[in-house]
Amino acid sequence: MEITKYSKEQLISAAVLYVEVYKASPWNESWDMGSAAKHLEHNADGQSALGFTAWDDGTIVGVLIGRNDYWQEKRTFTIKELYVRHQRQGIGSQLLQHCEGYLIDKGVSRVFLRTRRNTPAAQFYGKHGYTSHYGSVHLGKSLEAGDEGTLKKGLRSVAVRLETDRLIIREHEYADIEGYHKWISDQDVMRYVAGFPRTRTKEASIVSLTEAIRSSFEEPRAKYFVAIELKDTEEYIGSGGGIIKSNQGTGGIMGIGYFFIKDYWNQGYATEATRAWINYSFETLGVHKIVASCDVDNHSSEKIMQKCDMKRESYLRERRYREGAWRDGLQYAILKNEWEQLRTDPNLG
């Protein structure tokens, strides 16, 4: 078994194991991938966070995550999570001992943790020298108050969910990683893409997806990179959306793009999703102008922009270096007043 430092690239695999462990006996808790990933991401975020991962034959079999702190001018460490795939096989003990050795070298004087009394977990920590402090008590208070007074922390200022005839456009979830990795690592999908690198490994795709989710909580929000799924089957098929590039007080300019798993090309999904996103951006986000660009040889993308009533406004000479040569590009756009006219008289399109 190998033990390494925990990193955010391991989040999805760590969350899968977390759900597996805590949905089973004796915990029997109702975790899913989304809630587990958010929980782990929160505990492992920031300079004070520290974690270790146990590996067996390339698979994560145990995780320890905690946070550094100070108590009475002494360095301390609080274990937030320690969980393993198989109990009584020494995985937890090795993780704990590895962590303690690292902390000793860093001058940490004390380790704290919280667990349930009279459980195998309490017995495990007791075996390793951890003792209960009977002079303290752990208190809690619910801040949920029905429809009014509910705690707002952690909610998006703008949460996207759109429906078309065949599609649902929604915020990304950690459970999207398999489909997300399919398109972002596919050379054919990413062939003409500028400024958005193709990933070579699943770990790199996880980092990209995590950043997409993180940016959706920014305030004020400028990045709207969202997931696209089939309405009938709830199957993830791609991603798209836009970034508000500039804002002059009148709504700003949004650049848009879209990426689909190759199995779903040439079925009209990109046009359907782009039309819905244009409507949402003008109607709900209040942008002033929407722009999109493509490689001069990417005729499929150009046709989508034309079908969405965007007008070609520039020929971008040698805008990108690809495959040993500088490549020209095209830029299309639509203004809010043009979109409003089309809604009034569709024959203008």
Digit-coded pLDDT (tens) for 254-269: 999 999 999 999 999 9
Digit-coded pLDDT (tens) for 297-341: 999 999 999 999 999 999 999 988 877 889 899 999 999 999 999
Distance CA 7, CA 327 (A): 37
Can you spell out the DSSP letters for 48-90? TEEEEEEEETTEEEEEEEEEEEEETTEEEEEEEEEEESSTTSS
Buried b (16+ CB within 10 A) or exposed e, 74-93: eebbbbbbbbbbeeeeebbe
Distance CA 346, CA 349 (A): 6
Start-to-end CA span in the chain (Å): 63
* The total number of residues written for the chain in this structure: 349
3-state secondary structure at position 197: coil
Domains and CATH numbers, the chain: 2-127 (3.40.630.30), 161-348 (3.40.630.30)
Pairing of strands 49-56, 74-84: unpaired
pLDDT band at 88 (very low <50, low <70, confident <90, very high): confident
pTM of the model: 0.62
Average pLDDT over residues 222-239: 95
